[in-house]
Amino acid sequence: MGLRDFDPESSARRAFDGLRVTPYDQRWAVTGRFTPDDTGRTVRVPNADGRERGLGLGGEPVFALEGRELSLQVSLQGDGSLWAVFAGATSGSGSYRFRFLYPAAPDAEGRTTVTSTALLPPCAFADHFVCPFPPPGNTLDAEVAAGERTLA
């Protein structure tokens, strides 16, 4: 158990200047086809604190982006939605080193919108958050110019 002190007047909080965010663009609202993986597979991934932990994976949405077929390994959330930890072509330069996606729960045919909004992970804001890095296969060679990019 850890205890964290919240100081609304801290220098870091006062220095926070917002986020660099890409304005919404319909071309990034890409629909993918989700294939579930019911095997209970877990992969070991590094985390922001330098330790390695298991990350449960529950399937893979496949989608077309900039004319190419891509896929992401995702975890299933309690409400049926998906969660992906990913990096793209601009990770570490034009955007944070990795980001999160929360695609909606797939419909009855397995369709879900994959990349319309990427979010910064909690560890982008403070070092004490433990965030998993992208699992194998989730570093895309395409730019994902959507959502939150970096701290301002």
**Tens-place pLDDT, residues 87-102:** 988 898 889 999 999 9
**51 Cβ contact list (under 8 Å, min separation 6):** 130
pLDDT at 70: 92
pLDDT at 85: 98
The CA distance from 20 to 11, in Å, is 20
pLDDT at residue 1 greater than cutoff 80: no
Q: Higher pLDDT residue, 55 or 144?
A: 55
pLDDT at 28: 81
Residues of the chain with pLDDT > 90, as a percent, come to 66
Give the side-chain half-sphere CA count within 13 A for 146: 22
- pLDDT tens digits, residue range 50-90? 999 999 999 999 999 888 999 999 999 999 999 999 998 88
| Residue at 20 is within a domain | no
pTM beyond 0.85: the answer is yes
Domain carrying residue 45: 28-151
The CA distance from 137 to 134, in Å, is 8
Q: Higher pLDDT residue, 99 or 126?
A: 99
How many structural domains compose the chain? 1
CA 138 centroid distance within chain? 9
| Residue at 4 is within a domain | no
Residue with tokens 């890095």: 133
DSSP secondary structure letters along 3-48: -----TT-HHHHH---EEEEPP-GGG--EEEEEE-TT--EEEEEBT
pLDDT at 11: 86
| Residue at 9 is within a domain | no
| Residue at 21 is within a domain | no
| Residue at 123 is within a domain | yes
Give the side-chain half-sphere CA count within 13 A for 119: 11
